Structure 1
Amino acid sequence: MAKQPNTPAGANKATADKDAPLKEDIRLLGRLLGNVLREQEGDAVFQVVETIRQTAVRFRRESDAQSGAELNKLLKKLTRDQTISVVRAFSYFSHLANIAEDQHHNRRRRAHLLAGSAPQQGSIAYALSKLDDAGVPGSAVRNFFKEALISPVLTAHPTEVQRKSTLDAEREIARLLAERDHPLTPREMAQNTQLLHACVATLWQTRMLRYTKLTVADEIENALSYYRITFLRELPTLYADIEQEIAAHFPQRHASVELDLPPFVQMGSWIGGDRDGNPNVNAGTMQHALVRQSTAIFDFYLEEVHALGAELSISTLLVGVSPELEALADASPDHSAHRMDEPYRRALIGLYARLAATARALGAAHVLRQEVGPAAPYASADDFTRDLQVLVDSLKSHHGAALIRPRLGTLKRASEIFGFHLATLDMRQSSDVHERVLSELFARAKVEQDYAALPEERKVELLLDELNKPRLLHSPYLPYSSETDSELAILRAARDIRHRYGERAIRNYIISHTETVSDLLEVLLLQKETGLLHIEWNDTSAQVTEAQLELMVIPLFETIPDLRCAAEIMEAFMALPQVRHLIAKQGDLQEVMLGYSDSNKDGGFLTSNWELYKAETRLVELFDRAGVKLRLFHGRGGTVGRGGGPSYDAILAQPAGTVNGQIRLTEQGEIIASKFSNPEIGHRNLELLVAATLEASLMPHAEEGRQAKKLAGFERAMEELSERAYRGYRDLVYETPGFTDYFFASTPIAEIAELNIGSRPASRKSTRRIEDLRAIPWGFSWGQCRLLLPGWYGFGSAVSSWLLEGDAAEHKKRLALLRAMYKEWPFFATLLSNMDMVLSKTDLAVASRYAELVADRKLRNSIFKRILAEHHRTAECLALITGAKERLANNPLLARSIKNRFAYLDPLNHLQVELIKRHRAASAEGRKLDERVRRGIHLSINGIAAGLRNTG
């Protein structure tokens, strides 16, 4: 959920009035949903839903035990068909409430802008003002953008529970809702209401669930929809906004010199290239991903060039043009006498023809509009950009500057950002796969019969030796396993893709489970085997004289032990002369990826955050000593337990020196829809990323003297707290007998695994071990049962035990230290803020219903009792540190949002428990499973995820 602006607790009437349009929108959408329900399902079903709604609201808002009992009774009486209708009704209400809230965020933002309010936190204007106040010169700001790289990376994960059809309908509802803020005549308002009614009816008649397994191709199409909705237009617009803000805050002496930002924000994707644990990704899916990405961007370019041809009707009878523009027009296949005095149109017809030819050459199946005549395809996207620049320069020099911004300027900017590839596709694979492939290659080449069994030192020696040899290990005349053939094929496909679509199409290779230096060297050798590492040797001495690497080798440190070894591994890796030479060729830049999800599942919320912080700090120190620029790639998920929470706060909470103008971060699961399915919300989220990176990189850090000493004290306390939290978390999750059984019984993990919501299996291996379960369904399951345990467990016991050490004076001193940490240390303040949000979404009464699914009463009582006790300690300690007596005291808008929507979530949770009971009972008794029951469970999963929003 997008972060709400902070306002004092106990909002006054003015604040309430500001929320009046939101309440009106929710009432409108709720009424329309009720009307549709009555029309489609009949008055009896409508009355059932309405009775449940009123009872649930009474139970939630008044904590009335009698209402709770009444609610349970109502839900248990439902027939199977009624159950489906009730689940769908409450699920769609959650979806509609989300739309209304997003529209209200846009409304409030516009109100601030119209009122001329001070820049809001998270805006570029706010960041620039802050930097200006801190004495940062304009030259530093401009230099920042010259060298920066900010890259949101879209990933496909099995928590995106919405179908594209549903998203399309909801987008139209959002558009119509926004339209109601404009002055409308009574007739227009009535028509708007009718259209909204039709959209809600469409939603009701649209299948919410997928009945076939989602494929990688489906995931690619889903991701591309966000480019069409948001990125293709909002990113170029954001660049223009930033240029205007910089010009306003830091005017240059020479006003004629325009600021032209390089493409520092670039989109990334894992969809089609991430094969870690996904057997459905191979060379074919990667090639398909690039064809579809390329087709999407060419469709956009062709549409925009066609529109420009209609708009730029400039005649040379009235105004001159540059010789370069005239040459471009003369090269066009358009020779119509009607356009001989319209060189811009003729030039654009030529550009269109070249684009169409390029699109076909790069795999586009069809071009919507036939070009006027044949033309040579572009060799690269840079050539297309240069042609657009010719148009820009000609207009500027002939009184046409005003004609650039509306479309031509944004098209040129888009060509710089998206090229012919749209987004950089990352490759990712697990280190153990690389080891198996090289073991086979070494054995078949008679170099080493059991590479995997070698000690680490010998592996490194062998890999370096092999990198220095001119010959290859692989022979086209020998048979290899399907795994080896597949891995080599996908690397060869990467080489071909870079040749076809440009170097930015694929440039990163991420190694999951990086634990040793050999894990990194193995990928270097595999690149050599497939033509991605180019090495030149001296003819006489056979020594390497030159080397060039096409794909940056990026380690991913995920577990707690891996994070603790990250700096040590990178130090040893970069100390190798061959590696240091390759890094120098990369511009003395090296990326490191840090995994939030697995580290949390491994060590718990507090320890995960602390170990990530320490790993980053050590890496910064190491890279500074080595003279190499560090770029961190943050593998964040949707939930707080997986590194989620507001991106702006997360970036500002990073240790000093870790951002430095370079940052990549994943956008996962349903968070993609939440952030980018609305163009205005998408623009705001992209702006937040840039503003936070700008502030984190350029704001002065107090690293010396008293502040440094105070920070050291904070860090010592955090180290002690982390150790205690780690022990508490590990003791519950990994060392308590029967905990795995408790987890699988008390959450809908098994039912989530059945959902067709991702192409990737829920577990890496066919086991019930927590270690083998993917972090995504782990966190998703805890969200469904309203415990959200990965986002808070361990904090309470850690803080309470630490405070109790020593006498009363020591207790007072330690509490004062924690309060100072909260007030003065962004890392700790953000950690507590995120935990506060998670606790606000936790509901122990609902969670207790899920605990009843555990058949073993003794196991159920012992584990749930421990969870309850820890929750109580955590809430108590959080209040003790922050001084807040209520959840989200500093964020009343979010608090009200949660309070209002949770009355509608309660029935879904209660029904989900009831349906799971029926489903599992039938399975245990060997009876035929009722498809309506299964569908009801899956529908409830969708509705609860929509209501909680950041659950995946």
Structure 2
Amino acid sequence: MIHDQRAEKFRQIVENKFQIYNSLFMSLPYDKMTNIGMLLPFLYEESRNGYEEGKTPEEIIEEFFKNHTDLQKEEQKVELLFKIIQYIERQVVLFDSIEDAAFPSLHSESDNGTVTNLFERSYQDHKLEKVREKLKDFTVKVVFTAHPTQFYPSSVQRIIQDLRGAITSDSVTQIDMLLQQLGKTPFVNKEKPTPIDEALSIISYLRYVYYDTIGELFTKIKKTFGNGHFHLHEDIIQLGFWPGGDRDGNPFVTADVTKRVAEELRSAILKSYYSHLKFIRRRLSFRGVSEVLTQLSDELYSAIFNGKMITADDILKKAEEAEKILVNEHNSLFLDLLVNFRDRVKIFGTHFATLDVRQDSRIHQKVIDDVFAKVYGNAEAGEEEKFNKLIQLGNKVDADQFEDIVKDTLLTVCQISEIQDLNGQRGMNRYIISNSDAVKDVMNVYAFFKICGYKDEEIKMDIVPLFETMEGLANAENVMSELYRNPVYKKHLERRGNQQTIMLGFSDGTKDGGYLKANWEIYKAKEVLTKLSVQNGIKVVFFDGRGGPPARGGGKTHDFYASQGNTIANNKIELTIQGQTITSIFGNKEQAKYNFEQLLTAGVENDVFKNSKKDLTEKERKLIIELAEISYKKYSDLKAHPMFVPYLQEMSTLEYYGKTNIGSRPSKRGNGSELKFEDLRAIPFVGSWSQLKQNVPGFFGFGFAMQQMKEKGRLDEVKELYKGSDFFKTLVLNSMMSMNKSYFPLTYYIKNNPKFGAFWNVLYDEYVLSRDIMLELTGFKMLQEEDPLSRKSVKIREKIVLPLLSIQQYALMKIQKGEGNREAYEKLVTRSLFGNINASRNSA
């Protein structure tokens, strides 16, 4: 019933508004864009009907030119296609803004997963004390990364924010003006953004969205669950930050960049305090209080603009001084304003968000090898001997005697203590190691600190291994078991409060092992690492490297965390958020607040409301293992297909990701010209399948595994599993989301391609099989039947971008045939890729 009401509301306040404002859009006097609005519906119709009839994108576009234009020259045709792309990009922005503006009307304070709902539920079940107990040390941490999955220039982002406001108040004049501005504002970065640009772009979200959102949410939780003796700890919602600290595969992130970003974060939070204080001083104009706050304001100003040192404690002391006077002499008038300010200082310190350092283990090994050779005059030693000898070295190594990456790695480690002095220890306290699969990967980093002159007790950093390949995940238990027993590392953990953070990578896991196998291996790794950590007296925290789409570990995040049973440590929910997920899930105050609440309550519910569907029985476990193995075999066969990499290279947009100027990082690891599967980054990999509308990593092998069960007469067992296990159910629903965004008619033409026809058929057959068996399994009549809002949103977005996909495929076909102006067609591919990425924002 609620589903139906919401779907109807969505139709009224999203679909209908889009129709109305889109008509405004059509008559806009864009530069050289007249009539595009009139032509677009024809291109959509030609595309939709053409694909269903099995026509090629080339035939569809050529028929569109013939039937609806009188253009003859290639140059004119290409120019028109560019204008259509520009128009569609702006349509996407309009739809985003309308959907964002509708968010508060489509979600209520008492929805499942909100703080209010958690309170009501725990009150009725007499579990309030249990919830308070859990809240005492539970934390949610969202870590923002600069992975290139969307990068509107900041000028466009500002228009989006203003447009959302104008749509909320239905101001037609304002909307008209903003759409005109949008028409004349470039959408593409002329040059690749630098890591500093990426950092500043996300810092603007920290200042204008999260400073208030997290502050207000903290106050809300405190008021909802507070009683005389309950104290809510200020670290309950934390922010992490990777731009400027994550150098994995990004040669542009240097020690200088890291230092600069740390300074920008500090400056941004002090500016937030300064403007917050301005507002408070308007109310607290009383004698004594006013003077103290003016003094604090001046000190903040000096810290921002004159580099004067100020700590969070300095700010808190002044705020407490003002509070004393307010309580004793002015009847505590407006006290809540001051308390609110003080809470924020405790939440954000002088760091705003914790800047992490991340690098690949193979780079670390090179650093260790070079330093060892320089210090001991030879390179002849085992890897274990190298890190052990360097840890015991006892004197500092001069970074300047090395070059490039070795020097920069050492400088990065040397300056950590400076950053901690400036931003507080919460400003930087983790070093993350990509591609960890051995003990040396962690101990090498410990050795860095020692050769940079740190004494053991001065290493105030957590060393975090990131297990992301199938091999890494399988090896995780052995690695951690050995580390927990290593005397040097054991002492380090004691100094760090016997807490170990372990990162698990969904994106590379899925790329490596396929959807079902990757998710199961991560689940299993969490179980064994939980058990191992408990045995060693270690509090383990899992940090999930999740992306937007299900194929990168995204999808329904609340459901994912709420489905983990009591075999998995639940001390903290920590995950990465990137690209379009930042804008679509945490892009404005209403959405950010709602989604932070969803994460928080998922973790609390797990402990407080026990539910048999969260814990896997032995029988369910065996069945998932069986399904995972069958699906892994099927996916591995696909990866081993001789056409797998050539298909992506020649038929998809993979090669064009690096040209989009949406991220500072190269789109593949390594410099070799030949493309190897292992060098593929997860984002371009998953993204390219998405641009083809095939979404292979989100389902391939999953349906096949279930079909095998059906053929053995065991589908009823899988149905029982779906009904009985929240974990399995979430995987199925997320996979169906991936399939709902697939559109194979777009590439029907490939089935006749002499080189790739057979390979395309393998993909298509698996898609049809997966779709049919999942519908049978769930009893749904259509994909995403359980989530009408997301389904409707996907449908409208797919309609908007279909002409864009036709243009992209048309350009790719021209390039493959070597026809016409190659440079112009390559630009068309890149530009349409950009619009398409931005359009698929609701993938999380």
CA distance in 2, matches of 1:258, 1:562: 42
2:323 matched to 1:392? yes
Tell me the distance in 2 between the aligned counterparts of 1:659 and 1:241. 26
Structure with the greater alpha carbon radius of gyration: 1
Q: Deviations over 1:238-268 (max 9, x none)?
A: 0011112213xxxx4x4xx574442221110
Amino acid at match of 2:451: E
Moved more, 127-136 or 784-793: 127-136
Contact 2:635 2:700 in 1 (8 A): yes
Alignment of 1:355-370 (within 5 A): 355-360=300-305, 362=307
* 8 Å CA contact 2:391, 2:451 repeated in 1: no
DSSP-derived class of the 2:501 partner? strand
Structure 2 counterpart of 1:890, one-letter code: E
User: After superposition, what is the alpha-carbon deviation per residue over 1:699-746, rounded to whole angstroms, capped at 9, x for unaligned?
Assistant: 33559xxx97x611111011111111111111112x111221111112
Q: Which sections of structure 2, spanning at least 5 residues, go unmatched?
A: 72-76
Aligned residue among 404, 417, 428 for 1:506: 428
Distance in 1, Cα, partners of 2:378 & 2:126: 60
Q: Which residue of 2 aligns with 1:742?
A: 647
Structure 1 stretches lacking a partner, 5+ long: 1-5, 114-118, 181-191, 315-341, 363-376, 536-546, 806-810
Q: Equivalences for 1:52-451 in 2 at 5 Å?
A: 52-53=43-44, 73-74=63-64, 79-109=77-107, 112-113=108-109, 119-138=110-129, 140-180=130-170, 192-247=171-226, 252=227, 254=228, 257=229, 259-314=231-286, 342-360=287-305, 362=307, 377=308, 379-398=310-329, 400-401=331-332, 403-405=334-336, 407-446=337-376, 449-451=379-381
Whole-Å separation in 1 of the counterparts to 2:350 and 2:247? 24
Q: Distance in 2 between matches of 1:929 and 1:64?
A: 29
1:596-607 aligned within 5 A = 596-607=506-517
Question: Residue 43 of structure 1: CA displacement?
Answer: 4.7
Secondary structure of 2:543's counterpart equals strand
User: CA, structure 1 residues 745+64, in 2 after alignment: closer, same or farther (shift >3 Å)?
Assistant: closer
2:388 to 460, 464, 476: 464
Greater mean alpha carbon deviation, residues 519-528 or residues 644-653: 644-653
Aligned-partner residue type, residue 536 of structure 2: A
Query: Does residue 594 in structure 1 map to residue 516 in structure 2?
Result: no
Q: Deviations over 1:203-238 (max 9, x none)?
A: 111111112111111101111121122101111000
Identify the range of structure 1 (655-664 vs 548-557) with the bigger mean alpha-carbon deviation: 655-664
The 8 Å contact of residues 30 and 180 in structure 2, kept in 1 or not, is answered as: no
Q: State which of 665, 670, 673 in structure 2 corresponds to 1:760.
A: 665
> Cα deviation per residue 1:338-388 (whole Å; 9 max; x = unaligned)?
xxxx222211111012112222454xxxxxxxxxxxxxx554212212321
Q: Does 1:530 pair with 2:452?
A: yes
With normalisation by structure 1, the TM-score equals 0.83
Kindly indicate whether residue 791 of structure 2 is the aligned counterpart of residue 799 of structure 1: no
The amino acid across from 1:265 in the alignment is I
Cα distance in 2 for partners of 1:57, 1:208 equals: 27
In the alignment, the residues of structure 1 paired with residue 517 and residue 324 of structure 2 have an alpha-carbon distance, to the nearest angstrom, of 55
89-98 or 390-399: bigger deviation: 390-399
- List aligned pairs for 1:689-700, cutoff 5 A: 689-700=599-610
Equivalent AA in structure 1 for residue 649 of structure 2: F
Query: CA-atom RMSD, angstroms?
Result: 2.6
Deviation at 1:882, TM superposition (A): 0.8
* Contact residue 493 and residue 500 of structure 2 kept, 8 A: yes
Q: Aligned AA for 2:641?
A: T
1:513 and 1:606, CA in 2 relative to 1: closer, same or farther beyond 3 A? same
Cα offsets for 1:541-571 (capped at 9, x unmatched): xxxxxx4531111000000111111111101
Question: Secondary structure at 2:754's aligned position in 1?
Answer: helix
| Offset, 1:71 | 7.0
CA distance in 1, matches of 2:541, 2:213: 25
The change in CA–CA distance for 1:548 and 1:698 in structure 2 (over 3 A counts) is farther
1:511-660 mapped onto 2 (5 Å cutoff): 511-532=433-454, 534-535=455-456, 547-660=457-570
Q: SS where residue 838 of structure 1 aligns?
A: helix
Cross-structure match for 1:946: 838
| Alpha-carbon distance in 1 for matches of 2:662, 2:394 | 46
Q: 1:746 to 1:169 in 2, by over 3 A?
A: same
Quick one: distance in 2 between partners of 1:609 and 1:72? 44
Cα 1:402–1:59, aligned 2, differ >3 Å: closer, same or farther?
A: farther
Query: Does the CA-based 8 Å contact 1:840-1:887 persist in structure 2?
Result: yes
* 1:631 positional shift: 0.3
Residues 940 and 418 of structure 1, relative CA distance in 2, 3 Å threshold: same
Q: Deviations over 1:57-79 (max 9, x none)?
A: 7889xx68899987762157662
Whole-angstrom distance in 2 between the partners of 1:695 and 1:882: 25
- 1:596: how far off? 0.4
What displacement does 1:688 show?
1.4
Task: Write the distance in 2 (CA, Å) between the matches of 1:470 and 1:531.
Answer: 8
SS where residue 445 of structure 1 aligns? helix
Are 1:171 and 1:677, in contact at CA under 8 Å, matched by a contact in 2? no
SS in 1 for 2:668: coil
Code of the aligned partner of 1:166: V
CA drift at 1:879: 1.5
Once the two structures are superposed, residues 152-171 of structure 1 have per-residue CA deviations (whole angstroms, 9 ceiling, x without a partner) of 00001122132221111011
**Secondary structure class of the residue paired with 2:641:** coil
1:892 corresponds, among 784, 788, 802, to 788
Cα offset, 1:588, TM superposition: 1.4
Q: Which amino acid aligns with 2:538?
A: V
| Secondary structure at the counterpart of residue 637 of structure 1 | coil
Q: Which amino acid aligns with 2:20?
A: L
Are residues 1:721 and 2:627 paired?
yes
CA distance in 1, matches of 2:722, 2:679: 35
SS at match of 2:617: helix
> Cα–Cα, structure 1 residues 519 and 944, in superposed 2: closer, same or farther, change >3 Å?
same
Task: Verify the 8 A CA contact 1:747 1:781 in the aligned structure 2.
Answer: yes
Maintained 8 Å contact 1:56/1:903: no
Q: 1:802 to 1:66 in 2, by over 3 A?
A: closer
2:74 matched to which residue of 1? none
CA–CA separation in structure 2 for the residues paired with 1:859 and 1:555: 42
Give the number of aligned pairs. 833
Give the CA deviation at 1:580.
1.5
Using the TM superposition, give the Cα deviation of residue 51 of structure 1 relative to its aligned residue in structure 2, in angstroms. Answer: 3.0
What residue in structure 2 maps to residue 116 of structure 1? Answer: none
Shift of the alpha carbon at 1:888?
Answer: 1.2
Are the aligned partners of 2:262 and 2:419 in contact in 1 as well (CA < 8 Å)? Answer: yes
SS of the residue corresponding to residue 113 of structure 2 reads: coil
* Cα contact 1:55–1:67 (8 A) shared by 2: no
Counterpart for residue 822 of structure 1: 722
- The answer to whether the Cα contact below 8 Å between 1:151 and 1:266 also exists between their aligned partners in 2 is yes
Residue pair 1:154, 1:668 contacting (<8 A) in 2 also: yes
